[in-house]
Structure 1
Amino acid sequence: MIITDFRYEHIPEAEALALSCYDEERREVPALPEIHSVPALKDFADNHMGAAALENGRLVGFLCSVAPFDNVFRSTDVKGVFSPMLANAAILENRAAIYAALYQYAALKWVQAGAYSHAVCLYAHDEAALGQFFRYGFGLRCVDSIRTMQRLDTMQQLDTMRRMDGQRLLKSGSAHEGKTGMSSLGGFVFTELKPEEYCQIYPLESMLNSHYRKSPFFMNRRLESCEEFCEECVRNKDRCFAAFQKGEPCAYLKLSDTGETFITQASDYIHITGAFCLPEYRGRGLYQNLLDYAVDILEKEGYTRLGVDFESINPTADRFWSKYFTAYTQGVVRRIDERIGQVIIPE
């Protein structure tokens, strides 16, 4: 096996190999959409950060990354690289050994370019690839998950919600009132917010940022002002749903037509980009019912798939999303000792 730079002539075989690996994961996760082509890999040949594995002139694997960038995870001062979904792939035979050789070659480029945080997006059911990167010191950090646009099984939660405020739930078939843009259930009001109402959920967004900083998460993102938060939601064309009790927000859900992986480009897909529920309402069915409220609306609009990405180091998110969604990628990360840049790295 020969390991060399990823070049333009490797692109046709690399795209076919990437598509084959995607189909392999799709057999494990049927909710994934069927695709017939992958995004162009030209940019990865342009930046000279990739590696290709060849056997008898045939491409058997490749590992590319975006160009090194600052402020990795928006919460560190380190420079890093990221190999996104479809920017790496390997044939099934000897897959672990192929990835091992590819990373050894590519990692030298990355470190020489000053990138000390290495992140690679792998398929969640690819045990060979995941096992090899684990052996090289990587750990799980990010998860992309998906489900079909169907209501969650929350009926068993409704009695709990009723006990929370002592109100009688409406009988099945009329639990959601027919008010324009709103539904009520167990003393809670669910609604999709208008852009001028986004400021109502900013207090929850602030609590989410505080949650990021807690153990074992330790993610120190800058807290946006209310004005910045609202402007970003409008700029990204986000949609915000919220649950209120007595006029106060208890939970919110933010969605966008764009997400972390290329499948978010599908017209029938929408992605969760923000979510938070007050601690006192967790585990009681409130958030599940907020999701159901959003699903009812989105399904009628023609959306068939709902996605989410989250950090596995966030135990609250990991428990909740893993219960209702199926993982299809796992982002693994390794942090290199920055002091290695002070010595000459042998070729």
Structure 2
Amino acid sequence: MVRIVSFDTIHIPAAAALVAAAAAEARRCHPPAPAGLDDPARAAGLLIGPAASGLGAAALRGGRLIGFLAPLTFDLWGGPGAYVPEWGQAGDPALVGGLYALAAARWAQVGRTVHAVTLWAHRPEVEAAWHDVGFGRAVIDAVRDLEAPARRGRGVKVRRADRADAGRLAALERALWAHLAAAPAFRVHPPPGGRVEAARRLTDPAQPVWLAEVGGVPAGFLSLQPGDEAPAALRSPDLVRCDGAFVLPERRERGVATALLAAALGWAAAAGFAGCTLDYESANLEAARFWPAAGFSPVLHSVARRVA
């Protein structure tokens, strides 16, 4: 018989072991993924805060932990949220409903009405169980090696952007923001900082940006940064993160994005990185088509719902 109880600090060692096993399995499926969460000690350290909050749930069989949920709390998509990262959940699909029922009741009691969970992409049966309790996929985190893409666009010039390109970059970033704010993605996110912020970015050698031009006119951009903002499962000094990319609608399907990606991956390889990560909204239809075709393999799927 399975009992669902509050997740507490006494459950941390067993929960960390479940997380480490899931992370090791994910890394076997996606070799560029780092090994950090394979270590139960790292997962245990991450779970201390959520365990103390009283907002988690644990599934026990015969006194043994077989699944759990352990959320963080902060604002999500403009509302008070409860967010379960990839290291904050484990267990078979049959446990999802019971774990969520207990945890969600507590989240609602404290006014946390936006619920999100990050899941391992290699376990679609677990994601299906979350769909059954009202969640939909929102964000995908993916990784690839640094082998150059095979296809290149003709007539596309790609160059490293510098401070003089601040206005061009700011315009492209604004276009990306508008694209994501529109249907069907409807992403809630502050607008970019404009020319001043773009100029600041372009003076940082650790955060390179590439511009693509067709006939001397800007057609798109791609930017990289250290992977410090990546989810824990994809956070490593060996991985660089693509934190922005956009091609103007009239220049799509002409190899512009592939040319940008090739330049960025070449730089990353020369800089000593082993792979590249990124995330994209599942409702960003262009991104959802391009990135998998460009060699990015989904490692994490984040699902979400908003309750009354």
Q: Where do residues 13-162 of structure 1 align in structure 2 (5 Å cutoff)?
A: 13-35=14-36, 36-37=38-39, 38-39=42-43, 40=45, 41-67=47-73, 69-70=74-75, 72-73=76-77, 76=78, 78-90=79-91, 95-154=92-151, 157-158=152-153, 161=154
Q: Is the 8 A contact 1:259 1:273 kept in 2?
A: no
Matched, 1:193 2:161: yes
Between the aligned partners of 2:98 and 2:305, the Cα distance in structure 1 is 16
Offset, 1:128: 2.4
Q: Is the 8 A contact 1:272 1:308 kept in 2?
A: yes
TM-score, with structure 1 as normaliser = 0.80
Between the aligned partners of 1:198 and 1:305, the Cα distance in structure 2 is 27
1:63 maps to a residue whose letter is L
Q: Hey, what does 1:313 align to over in structure 2?
A: 283
* Structure 1 gaps, min length 5: 162-185, 338-347
Moved >3 Å (runs of 4+)? 194-199, 231-237, 245-248
Q: Which range moves more in the overlay, 1-10 or 58-67?
A: 1-10
Q: Is the 8 A contact 1:269 1:307 kept in 2?
A: yes
Instruction: Provide Cα deviations, 1:230-249, integer angstroms capped at 9, x if missing partner.
Output: 37747895321211245432
Provide the identity percentage: 29
Q: Hey, what does 1:9 align to over in structure 2?
A: 10
* Structure 2 gaps, min length 5: none
Q: Is the 8 A contact 2:224 2:264 kept in 1?
A: no
1:296 maps to a residue whose letter is G
TM-score, with structure 2 as normaliser = 0.90
Q: Is the 8 A contact 2:33 2:234 kept in 1?
A: no
Instruction: Provide Cα deviations, 1:212-261, integer angstroms capped at 9, x if missing partner.
Output: 23221222433234145337747895321211245432111111212331
The CA RMSD over aligned residues, in Å, is 2.1
Instruction: Provide Cα deviations, 1:95-137, integer angstroms capped at 9, x if missing partner.
Output: 1122221111111111111111110001112122111111101
Q: Relative to 1, partners in 2 of residues 1:232 and 1:54: Cα closer, same or farther, differing over 3 Å? A: farther
Between the aligned partners of 2:269 and 2:150, the Cα distance in structure 1 is 16
Instruction: Provide Cα deviations, 1:302-343, integer angstroms capped at 9, x if missing partner.
Output: 111111100001111111112121111111111112xxxxxx
Between the aligned partners of 1:126 and 1:89, the Cα distance in structure 2 is 11
- Aligned to 1:79, the other structure's residue is in SS state strand
- Aligned to 2:86, the other structure's residue is in SS state coil
Between the aligned partners of 2:205 and 2:266, the Cα distance in structure 1 is 22
